[in-house]
Structure 1
Amino acid sequence: MDDKRKRARVQGGWASSLNSRASSCATSGASNAKNQVFPSSPQSRAGRGEQLSSKKHFVFKAPEQVIRKAPQPKMIEKQGIYEISTSPSGVSRIHLIPGFIDLNEADWMFEQLFHEIPWRQRAHVRQDLSYDEPRLTAWYGELPYTYSRLTMLANPHWHPLLTMLKDRVEDFTKNTFNSLLCNLYRNEKDSVDWHSDDEPALGQNPVIASLSFGATRMFEMRKKPLPEDNNDYTYVQRVHIPLDHGTLLMMEGATQEDWQHRVPKDYHSREPRINLTFRTMYPDPEAMHT
């Protein structure tokens, strides 16, 4: 009897051990089956693709905004010839000659011009309102000069000093001039606003010779904007040129067609300044092509 009980306990132990091993193998097999990679069918791949695509979200990114900055003015102070722009109109060129007139000569020339030129202040009419030009002027030549709807009658009797200066400028520049606009800036409050010397009577691509005496004033230039900029001058090229006592400035090529210039008010310069601008006038605008 005891022998039968021993065998039963041994057999029960073996049975339990075998059952435990079988259960462990089954569990391990199931786990391996989960981790094992099997070739997937097209249907299962499509299903996973749908799940992945459903997790993607479209994010809108606004295009980077181009920030335009107004360029710093280019300062021109040294003697030389400068091509300031090139366009279908041609090359815009300026020639700066500081000290064209010796300082001692420039001093007595200024005094003669200041006291002996018949300076006059002219009135403009804008929107039915009349206002005085913030400077004094005189016009010499054979033909009247019209700008900003104001006509200046010519004075054919040139002052001897003006004739001498015209000859000197012509000898240096190899250009001939028949007219002269004289400007007197009495103090820091006098100025001339943005404009171009592009009247038809001056011809195409006129050469302007500008000679300065007296106080140094800043001569500012700005390039005319492209048509698509709707006359916005914010981002155009700019050039600043300090015009000293005895300085000659030549404007040539397409400068008048492509650029504007001005002499702004300057509260740091309270002394008077005289500017002479030599130019060529044509009796008939068509004559400029002959």
Structure 2
Amino acid sequence: MAEETACTSSWHRGRCPAPKAPVASSLALAGVRPAWRQKDQPHTQKQFIFEKPSEVERRVPEAGVIDKPGVYELSKGPTGTSRIHLIPGFIDSEQADWMFEQLLQDIPWGQRTHIRQEVSFEEPRLTSWYGELPYTYSRITMQPNPNWHPVLSMLKERIEEFTGHTFNSLLCNLYRNEKDSVDWHSDNEPSLGKNPVIASLSFGATRTFEMRKKPSPEEDGDYTYVERIRIPLDHGSLLVMEGATQEDWQHRVPKEYHSRDERINLTFRIIYPEPDGVWK
């Protein structure tokens, strides 16, 4: 009561502070909730959320197509430059017709047997070998045959004159239909020497010649993302592979789903004798 009297006395009139409302009441009047009750307020502190790094999408490259005449540099590397030269119509169609028929009839074609992991199977094509030295590939040795067919000797001379390279051996392949093929490989046997030049002449039905670059050591033998090339080889066409092509690339003639007639492929090359005189 004394406090009340003092605040209402005349000389304090106007200076007596207004009584303070309780804090809770004033917050309620203002429509504000106390901090300890503001559970629905957003958290002002940022939270760290782990996100797995997004993997870079790696796409399988589309195969390139080479079907125009010219010299093509495929790749460069420590082993050298890989290069091919495509000459469609190297033998004109009229000459190619009679050469094809004569070689189809006269060459002593044979089918050889492979043994892989103790399982034997026949090559899906016919072959014949010409040259004074034997040739071994895929554990098959083809014996010397120095009796060159006159047409083959003429073709060898014509290719040597055009390319500036000499050849002493020839592997002939006959693809009888679309089911005949040759799997991925490189012509890199020791008897062919370093960076061999291979001249491939085709007669008959057009077949696709495919090439793929050998993967880098980091790829651990995975060919999924390597460069690929498709080359249609038609009647009378010549394809010359040189430089590091056999070291850095593989090639094949795959089976096809559509009907294909016979095709003859002649691959001219140089064979060197084994240093120890033993052919393996």
TM range, normalised to the smaller chain?
Answer: 0.7 to 0.9
1:147 to 113, 137, 150: 137
Matched, 1:276 2:272: no
Asked if 1:117 is matched to 2:107, the reply is: yes
Query: Partners of 1:135 and 1:267 in 2: how far apart?
Result: 16
Q: 2:57 aligns with which of 28, 48, 67?
A: 67
Instruction: Detail structure 1 runs of 4+ shifted over 4 Å in the superposition.
Output: 14-17
Deviation for aligned residue 1:129 = 1.4
TM-superposed deviation, 1:206: 0.1
Give the aligned length.
249
Corresponding residue for residue 27 of structure 2 = none
CA-to-partner distance for each residue in 1:54-90, whole Å, 9 max, x for gaps? 8232222222212111110010000000011111111
Unaligned 5+ runs, structure 1: 1-11, 28-52
CA distance in 2 between counterparts of 1:269 and 1:162 reads 28
Match of 2:206 in 1: 216
- CA offsets 1:128-185 (integer angstroms, 9 cap, x no match): 1111100000000010000000000121000000000000000000000000000000
Q: Please, what TM-score do these two structures have when normalized by structure 1?
A: 0.81
Percentage of matched positions with identical amino acids: 67
**RMSD over aligned Cα atoms:** 2.4
- Tell whether 2:160 aligns with 1:176: no
Cα deviations by residue, 1:31-51 (Å, 9 ceiling, x for unpaired): xxxxxxxxxxxxxxxxxxxxx
Distance 1:251 1:285 in 2: 25
Q: Which has the higher helix share?
A: 1
| Alignment partners' CA distance in 1, 2:254 and 2:275 | 31
Deviation (angstroms), 1:19: 5.8
- In structure 1, the partner of 2:147 is 157
Bigger mean CA offset, 101-110 vs 57-66:
57-66
Query: Does structure 2 retain, via aligned residues, the 8 Å contact 1:200–1:285?
Result: no
- 1:167 match: 157
Q: Indicate the structure (1 or 2) with the bigger Cα radius of gyration.
A: 1
List alignment gaps of at least 5 residues for structure 2: 1-7, 22-42
| Shift of residue 18, structure 1, vs aligned partner | 2.9
Give the alignment's TM-score, normalised by structure 2: 0.84
Q: How does 1:42-61 map to 2 (within 5 A)?
A: 55-61=45-51
Provide the secondary structure at the position in 2 that maps to 1:18: coil
Q: Which amino acid aligns with 1:126?
A: R
In structure 1, what is the equivalent of residue 14 of structure 2? 18
Tell me the residue number matched to 1:50: none
Q: Does 1:187 align with 2:183?
A: no
Q: Distance in 1 between matches of 2:183 and 2:213?
A: 15
